[in-house]
A and B are shown apart, each in its own frame.
Chain A
Amino acid sequence: NAGVMQNPRHLVRRRGQEARLRCSPMKGHSHVYWYRQLPEEGLKFMVYLQKENIIDESGMPKERFSAEFPKEGPSILRIQQVVRGDSAAYFCASSHDAHLLNTGELFFGEGSRLTVL
């Protein structure tokens, strides 16, 4: 039973390029969350998605960032025209249920580390 899979684990981009980060949730999980960890900081919530729907994007920067979770395939976090300040670790988490008190489980992937040159 594979865990939350993220790829690539490491991504290097030059300023102005696009970055695409992928997240495959655990089997049977339909709720996906993206978090960003800037250097030497804690994780900050970005976006919460269910299949084909964005539920909460209150933590997403208004420009250049977008996320999707299509009916088939992984969730994708897309950063257009990257800048140096986008350099961070991006973590994906998944859960079976929206209400963690019912299931208690929120599983994180190993993260994707984006470096912008």
Chain B
Amino acid sequence: AQKVTQAQTEISVVEKEDVTLDCVYETRDTTYYLFWYKQPPSGELVFLIRRNSFDEQNEISGRYSWNFQKSTSSFNFTITASQVVDSAVYFCARGSNNQGGKLIFGQGTELSVKP
């Protein structure tokens, strides 16, 4: 199976620390896309970013940044100067161009940011 692996089950940091959440994916597709979603304690899924496989440019959005490395099949997510409100479960997911919204999700990383 073409998996998405988030090796870190839980991470705990103190406010203002930087934290990186790892995501490694497997795929045989030449065209695919990758997502990160945030699931706060309230339970909804919040879209954070989508990246196409042909666009390896890293992206920064405020305190969030993403590092896409096709050579290592990784799509890591960094939160700079973490805040308590960042506490949530974060999911990485992969989709394929020929499978629409059928995504394969990682197991999630639970981030706890303590004051």
Contact = CB atoms under 8 A, between A and B. Distances in A.
A28 interface: no
A33 interface: yes
Interface residues of B, number: 25
B102 A101 contact: no
Contacts of B108: 41-42
Given A100-B95, A101-B52, A108 B45 contact: yes
Contacts of B106: 42
A99 interface: yes
Given A42-B91, A42-B107, A104 B100 contact: no
Contacts, number: 72
Contacts of B101: 31, 33, 48, 93-95, 100, 106
Interface string B82-102: 000000000101010111111
The contact size tier of chain A is 20 to 34
23 contacts: A33-B100, A33-B102, A41-B107, A42-B108, A45-B102, A48-B100, A48-B101, A55-B100, A93-B101, A95-B100, A99-B98, A99-B100, A100-B33, A100-B95, A101-B33, A104-B50, A105-B50, A106-B50, A108-B44, A108-B45, A108-B47, A110-B44, A111-B43
Interface of B: 31, 33, 35, 37, 43-45, 47, 50, 52, 91, 93, 95, 97-108
Interface of A: 31, 33, 35, 41-45, 48, 55-56, 89, 91, 93-95, 97-101, 104-111, 113
